[in-house]
Amino acid sequence: MTGRRLKHWGWGFEDQAPSATVLAEAAAGIRERFGFGGEVRAAMPLEEVEVRAPRLRRPDAFGDLFTDEKYERVSRALGKAYRDIVRGHRGEFEHPPDLVALPRDCSEVETVLSWAEAEGAAVVPFGGGTSVVGGVEGRLGDRPVVTMDLRRLDRLVEVDPASLAARIEAGATGPRLEEQLREHGLTMRCFPQSFEYATLGGWIATRAGGHFATKETHVDDLVESVRAVTPRGTWESRRLPGSGAGPSPDRLLLGSEGILGAIVEAWVRVRPRPEWKAAATVRFERFADACEAVREIVQAGLDPANCRLLEAVEAEMTGAGDGTSHLLLLAFESAHHPMEAQLRLAIEAAESHGGAADAPRVSGPSAVDRPIDGEMQTAADWWRGAFLLAPYLRDTFVSCGVLSETFETAITWDRLEEFHANVMETTRRAVAEVSGAPREGRGAPLVTCRFTHAYPDGVAPYFTVLAPAIRGGEVEQWDEIKAAVSEELMEGGGTITHHHAVGRDHRPWYDRQRPAPFAAALRAAKAELDPAAILNPGVLLDP
């Protein structure tokens, strides 16, 4: 689409891949640091990848709407989970789409759906391809697959400055939509980890978790109306600030992961760029105290934009801390008024639970906004940098024989302590056992936790696992760990996902989690709108 091409496997652009020298240095560093990994294997170059011939003939009638070009197919064959990166690295693309469609407008989206329906093909709607749950991998046996990439629909169509809302096409990536909003002095402030590559439509389809750690935690809250193309017509809701007219149509599309329709555009709530910021880092000796601090802050209705709690080990791993204390990153922001008073209330609450806050950092309209890749001055800066770099780093881990994956959930406060302990224990045990690694000491796997989002009634814990990879058996290794962990999440009353979506990989646990009559209702709704079952079969529901 642009001169710069995304890697055919892994995270980011082709020109961002580390050189062999850098990889070798990284491998030594990893070995030194963790006591495992360190043996570099090169990724299979695209030229050497063998990919199944397309089972669909590219139709001549539609110009360049469809392509069967190898790079286009391979680069959309997998998502970005660890199990995807590993397979891509090895050059194993078992389920490449037969064709890739690149529609430019709604009418071309309709064309793709009707052509696929006539051909008996499935259609996988595709945004940034950053799914970590198998959401874009068409594992459909003999059924041909068209992956419909919506990234050509990337325009800011209309701005309503009075209502602070903008109509944006679904294929706009985070940077693309922010760049267009910036011209109007506005920002959406939806910054999931996938921000650089993922698209608005993908965020809506998967209920992405964004920038805000409290209050507007999911993109759900930023959506004013949605337009989706279904095989049975266009689904377009009215732009309304609030409504009580029947169940919300938007809330049925939010999280529908492409099975009901292809989201083509949305009106989203935007805001002026924040001018006033107030932030502080609070250190805790005891994790339980830090949890109580977070609970008090959110239950007080203070609604900080950032309220992320990093366990000591996680803080150290990301460079945000030295590993001696747990860190609570607090930040308030406003385009309207100073936020220092709110920060002070939050700090007071944190200190009443034994926290020690560093000096508040307060900035107003005159301050220069530090870019995210700028100088790292604070724990929050470090953490933010690490947050965006993590997916790049994972490619390196995979090359160096390190298993690197995350999983996340949400749980009410009453269950948190036991739940957290059980999940940590189960994960540590499963990772060590499955990986044949020691549980403690040098060479032991790392399992760390942070809280990404906080609510008056609970919190969203996010876990990171680093372990020695079983070379050649990485997928099975992780799948076994993931199954053990997911059982624990279900048993403990959590959700199988707070913001990573369901896709195909979370299905066994999602199916148990959702109410059976809701599953039946969803199945019936899909059968009605998509009777030929062309839309992303296998996701959320059986194909």
Examine residue 232 and tell whether it contacts a copy of itself (CB under 8 A).
yes
Examine residue 497 and tell whether it contacts a copy of itself (CB under 8 A).
yes
Q: Which of 39, 514, 532, 543 binds a copy of itself (CB under 8 A)?
A: 514
Examine residue 357 and tell whether it contacts a copy of itself (CB under 8 A).
no
Examine residue 521 and tell whether it contacts a copy of itself (CB under 8 A).
yes
Residue 38 near residue 30, CB atoms below 8 Å: yes
Residue type at position 334: S
| Shortest reach from residue 516's CB to a copy of itself, in Å | 6
Examine residue 195 and tell whether it contacts a copy of itself (CB under 8 A).
no
Q: Which of 92, 523, 532, 543 binds a copy of itself (CB under 8 A)?
A: 523
What burial letters (b/e) apply to 229-266, b meaning 16+ CB within 10 Å?
A: bbbeeebebeeeeeeeeeebbbebbbbbbbbbbbbbbb
114/324 with CB nearer a copy of itself: 114
446/459 with CB nearer a copy of itself: 459
Q: Indicate the DSSP class of residue 375.
A: -
Structure tokens at 502: 């369901």
Q: Rounded CA gap, 431 and 453, in Å?
A: 25
The contact mask relative to a copy of itself for 264-283 (x = CB under 8 A, - = no) is -----x-x------------
Q: H helices within 120-222, ranges in order?
A: 174-182, 200-206
Q: Rounded CA gap, 198 and 128, in Å?
A: 4
Q: Which of 436, 493, 508, 542 binds a copy of itself (CB under 8 A)?
A: 493
Q: Which residues contact 304 (CB under 8 A, 6 or more apart)?
A: 213, 214, 297, 330, 331, 332, 342, 343, 346
Give the total of residues touching a copy of itself (CB under 8 A): 99
Direct distance between the N- and C-terminal alpha carbons of the chain, in angstroms, rounded to an integer: 31
In 3-state terms, what secondary structure has residue 504? coil
Per-position DSSP letters for 121-144, written without gaps between them? -EEEEESS---SSSTT----TTS-
Residue 344 near residue 359, CB atoms below 8 Å: no
Structure tokens at 277: 């910021």
Examine residue 109 and tell whether it contacts a copy of itself (CB under 8 A).
no
Examine residue 243 and tell whether it contacts a copy of itself (CB under 8 A).
yes
In 3-state terms, what secondary structure has residue 334? strand
Q: Select the span of 3-11, 55-63, 114-122, 229-237 touching a copy of itself (CB under 8 A).
A: 229-237
Please name which of 362, 379, 384 lies closest in space to residue 278, comparing C-alpha atoms: 362
Q: Which of 38, 255, 304, 538 binds a copy of itself (CB under 8 A)?
A: 255
User: What φ, ψ does residue 42 adopt, rounded to 5°?
Assistant: -75, 145
Touching a copy of itself, residues 160-189 (CB under 8 A) = 160, 162-165
| Shortest reach from residue 527's CB to a copy of itself, in Å | 7
Half-sphere exposure of 333 (CA within 13 A, CB side): 16
Examine residue 290 and tell whether it contacts a copy of itself (CB under 8 A).
no
Examine residue 309 and tell whether it contacts a copy of itself (CB under 8 A).
no
The contact mask relative to a copy of itself for 524-543 (x = CB under 8 A, - = no) is xx-xxx----------x---
* Residue at token pair 């008090």: 296
Touching a copy of itself, residues 40-79 (CB under 8 A) = none
| Shortest reach from residue 448's CB to a copy of itself, in Å | 21
| Shortest reach from residue 498's CB to a copy of itself, in Å | 5
Q: Which of 321, 494, 537, 538 binds a copy of itself (CB under 8 A)?
A: 494
Please name which of 228, 264, 268, 2 lies closest in space to residue 149, comparing C-alpha atoms: 264
Residue type at position 441: G
Find the largest Cα–Cα distance for the chain: 69
Examine residue 249 and tell whether it contacts a copy of itself (CB under 8 A).
yes
Touching a copy of itself, residues 123-152 (CB under 8 A) = none
Touching a copy of itself, residues 322-341 (CB under 8 A) = 334-337, 341
| Shortest reach from residue 222's CB to a copy of itself, in Å | 10
| Shortest reach from residue 423's CB to a copy of itself, in Å | 15
| Shortest reach from residue 454's CB to a copy of itself, in Å | 8
Touching a copy of itself, residues 446-475 (CB under 8 A) = 453, 455-460
Examine residue 522 and tell whether it contacts a copy of itself (CB under 8 A).
yes
| Shortest reach from residue 56's CB to a copy of itself, in Å | 26
308/499 with CB nearer a copy of itself: 499
Please name which of 302, 274, 296 lies closest in space to residue 350, comparing C-alpha atoms: 296
Q: Which of 239, 286, 439, 471 binds a copy of itself (CB under 8 A)?
A: 239
User: What φ, ψ does residue 414 adopt, rounded to 5°?
Assistant: -60, -30
112/228 with CB nearer a copy of itself: 228
Q: Which of 147, 193, 237, 363 binds a copy of itself (CB under 8 A)?
A: 237
Element (H or E) spanning 424, and its range? helix 413-435
Q: Which of 8, 176, 207, 277 binds a copy of itself (CB under 8 A)?
A: 207
Q: Rounded CA gap, 152 and 172, in Å?
A: 8
* Residue at token pair 């307060």: 362
The contact mask relative to a copy of itself for 388-417 (x = CB under 8 A, - = no) is ----------------------xxxxx---
| Shortest reach from residue 244's CB to a copy of itself, in Å | 4
Q: Which of 116, 254, 449, 465 binds a copy of itself (CB under 8 A)?
A: 254
Structure tokens at 340: 């220092």
Q: Which of 49, 100, 208, 535 binds a copy of itself (CB under 8 A)?
A: 208
Examine residue 261 and tell whether it contacts a copy of itself (CB under 8 A).
yes
Q: Rounded CA gap, 81 and 295, in Å?
A: 31
| Shortest reach from residue 335's CB to a copy of itself, in Å | 8
Strands 145-149 and 99-101, by their bridges, are: parallel
Q: Rounded CA gap, 384 and 331, in Å?
A: 12
Residue 136 near residue 504, CB atoms below 8 Å: no
Examine residue 377 and tell whether it contacts a copy of itself (CB under 8 A).
no
